[in-house]
Amino acid sequence: MRTGGQPIEALRKGMEYLAGQLGNIEIRGAGTTGSGRQLASVIIGADIVKNEITAHAVAAQNLVPEVKTILEIGGQDSKIIILKNGVVYDFAMNTVCAAGTGSFLDRQASRLNIPIEEFGSYALRSDSPVRIAGRCAVFAESDMIHKQQMGHRVDDIVRGLCQALVRNYLNNLAKGKLIAEPILFQGGVAANVGITAAFEEALGKKVIIPEYYDVMGAYGAALIAKRKMEKSIDTNFKGFDACLRDYSARSRECSGCSNVCEVIELFSNDELLASWGDRCGKWSSRLEGRPLVAR
């Protein structure tokens, strides 16, 4: 599901859908990951909260134990993970430049009046891709418009965009890193056959698309939660009904020191459930998942 800028509402809808699909079953454990992992963990009652690097690496190794390189491109960020002897050896993330993410492709597909699901197939039909500046999303978009005005075929522009995104990714994240096989391509953008072809062309190596490519982070978090609950009895999972409550997030600045941290607070019916974002733990450590009445 797309969050649509409303992660709490998206989580509620997702959990409601799961409850309808699963029926009356016992949930033994739950995990969260991703940019909204703290928020989601408080709402559902997670047993583990893991960063995306760890979650993606665990999921990849579960499907391809000998994996050495993970390429991941999602809607709002991208990352590369290098593994050595089954351990994460190096990684890099792009959380700033939109030209290296799926949202960039979504926007350009919309501009070209192409369904994003068909974007990759257009690229594969091209035999003369145009060169598009891909270092910056603004420049790439301007360059694409210029190529349209020059009369280039849509197929060639789309393939040029795929190559531009891959160049951006490799220059920003993979520079100086040894990209060894097996190589797994994860994240929603892995569904785009044009991007996969561009990676294989640029690297000169085979790129593998795992079975659960679009939810590998969630898959990894579930595996980690499963391992933890094998050594535990009780889960923190609050049940599907917990998501039906009303939640709201607020932010404020802490003036306790010169860091001036932005503290995020999650409320439910004026009850403070959790805080995070402070560097020293002044606010987040005192809650430890225990609901407190907001002052």
Joined tokens for residue 75: 């809607």
Q: What is the pLDDT of residue 99?
A: 59
Question: Are 171 and 264 members of one domain?
Answer: no
Question: Are 78 and 199 members of one domain?
Answer: yes
**Share above pLDDT 70 across residues of the chain, in percent, rounded to a whole number:** 93
Question: Are 91 and 196 members of one domain?
Answer: yes
CATH number at residue 161: 3.30.420.40
Q: What is the pLDDT of residue 277?
A: 84
Contact between residue 42 and residue 69 where contact means Cβ atoms under 8 Å apart: no
Question: Are 204 and 289 members of one domain?
Answer: no
**Stretch 123-138: mean pLDDT, rounded?**
78
Question: Is residue 32 within a helix (H) or strand (E), and if so which, with residue range?
Answer: strand 31-32
pLDDT band at 292 (very low <50, low <70, confident <90, very high): very low
- Is residue 163 predicted with pLDDT exceeding 80? yes
Residue 60 lies in a domain: no
Question: Are 37 and 90 members of one domain?
Answer: no
Rounded to 10 deg, the angle between the 193-203 and 154-172 helix axes is 60
Cα separation, 241 vs 45, in Å, equals 12
Joined tokens for residue 142: 């301007």
**10-39 pLDDT, tens per residue?**
998 999 899 899 888 889 999 999 888 888
Q: What is the pLDDT of residue 293?
A: 36
Average model confidence (pLDDT) across the chain: 86
Q: What is the pLDDT of residue 95?
A: 62
Q: What is the pLDDT of residue 30?
A: 94
Residue 2 lies in a domain: no
Boundaries of domain holding 271: 246-293
Residue 194 lies in a domain: yes
Which residue type, as a one-letter code, is found at position 188? G
List all residues 6 or more positions away from 251 whose beta carbon is below 8 Å from its beta carbon.
262, 263, 264, 265, 277
Residue 80 lies in a domain: yes
Instruction: Classify 47 as helix, strand or coil.
Output: coil
Q: Report the number of secondary-structure helices (H) and strands (E) in the chain.
A: 10, 11
Q: What is the pLDDT of residue 137?
A: 65
> What Rg value do the Cα atoms of the chain yield, rounded?
21
Residue 17 lies in a domain: yes
- Is residue 90 predicted with pLDDT exceeding 60? yes
